[in-house]
Structure 1
Amino acid sequence: MKNISKIVLMLLAGLSFAACEVDDPFVDRVVSPVLVQVVDSDGGASSGLSTDPTVSSVFGESTDFGIQVLELDKTNILDYTKGIDSIAVAAIEISLKFRDGADISTITTDADGVAKVIIPWSSFGVSGAGESVSLMASGTYKDQSFTKLFKLASK
């Protein structure tokens, strides 16, 4: 009887360890195939240090900012004299949308990898300086989709 209770106790202990596996609480993510930077009207690119950078544009009839798409060549990542190279990605269609998914416009990157956005402020629902709107820029590169979240502020 003692041996049976030891076996049952060991089985229960083993099952309790097996039951400790917990699903990952984070959203499944895939590394973006490109680096996407939002460039304000003064030519300053987003730093990439925040997940939701804010880019500003002077309030007037139309907004003026850019979305730059770069491929990172990591061939020389271990050579400190060369490092990672940023290569402009041309002719990629970028879908500019509100965060709820409503389309605003589709733009294409030029030879420098920059898609210029010159759209009336009214299309964003912005009626004056000091207002901001949350947007996203999405596209596909080498059969892998990517999205950049950012805010557009009028100044």
Structure 2
Amino acid sequence: MNSYKSLILSGLLVVGNLLTGCEKKEDPFVDRVVAPVLVLVDGASDGGGQTAEPVVTQKITAPVVMTVKILELDKSGILNNKVGIDSIPVAALAVKLVKREVKGTATVMTTIADLKTDATGKATLTKTWAELGITTPAVGSSVSLTWTGEYKGQTFSRLSRVQGVN
């Protein structure tokens, strides 16, 4: 009889643990919000700028030219296989390009340019390597960049990097 009570008690404890283990908890480390736009980095080595930090290679003997395309994703037809998700270019959107640089234990952010998207949703940066902080560019020189903006009241950021090649 004693083992029967122990078995019932053990079963209740297991069920109680399962029920409390299923409750949804908030992530204590990262407060995430879905980006209001899709930011594609043209010319990225992955083909479309879909990696966490797409890399664009540029000749060290020429100016750096980088382009992003900003799209709003219309998901109203997501359940209709004939419509799907539509990509709509975001025109006349202010975009800030910031250089990220680690100095000691701090990350220093320096504004490189204030850009605006055209009718096709594209914003293009043209700068010399010196304007990006590399006075003597060499193969492998790189600059970490962040494209930031605000769309429909929500801010967004997109990391990228430009790297020098021959």
How far is the alpha carbon of 1:83 from its aligned partner? 1.1
- Number of residues paired by the alignment? 135
How far is the alpha carbon of 1:22 from its aligned partner? 7.5
So what's the TM-score if we normalise by structure 2?
Answer: 0.72
Partner of 2:147: 137
* Inter-CA distance 103–76: structure 2 relative to 1 (3 Å threshold): same
**Unmatched segments (≥5 aa) in structure 2:** 1-19, 101-107
Q: Aligned equivalents of 1:23 and 1:80: distance in 2? A: 34
Q: Aligned equivalents of 1:91 and 1:104: distance in 2? A: 19
Aligned-partner residue type, residue 107 of structure 1: L
- DSSP-derived class of the 1:84 partner: strand
Q: Aligned equivalents of 2:42 and 2:57: distance in 1? A: 9
1:117-154 CA-to-partner distances (Å, cap 9, x unmatched) read 11111122231232111110000111111000111112
Partner of 1:93: 94
Q: Aligned equivalents of 1:22 and 1:72: distance in 2? A: 29
Q: Aligned equivalents of 1:22 and 1:140: distance in 2? A: 29
1:47-67 CA-to-partner distances (Å, cap 9, x unmatched) read x1x211112222234101201
Indicate yes or no: 2:107 matched with 1:106: no
- DSSP-derived class of the 1:123 partner: helix
Q: Aligned equivalents of 2:88 and 2:163: distance in 1? A: 28
User: Given the alignment, which residue of 32, 37, 47 partners 1:34?
Assistant: 37
How far is the alpha carbon of 1:23 from its aligned partner? 6.3
Q: Aligned equivalents of 1:146 and 1:23: distance in 2? A: 22
Partner of 2:128: 120
Indicate the structure with greater strand content.
Answer: 2
1:84-133 CA-to-partner distances (Å, cap 9, x unmatched) read 11000011111100123211111111111000111111122231232111
1:30-52 CA-to-partner distances (Å, cap 9, x unmatched) read 1110000111289x531x1x211
Q: Aligned equivalents of 1:54 and 1:143: distance in 2? A: 29
- Residue identity (%): 39
Is residue 41–residue 64 contact of structure 1 (8 Å, CA) maintained in 2? no
Q: Aligned equivalents of 2:146 and 2:77: distance in 1? A: 31
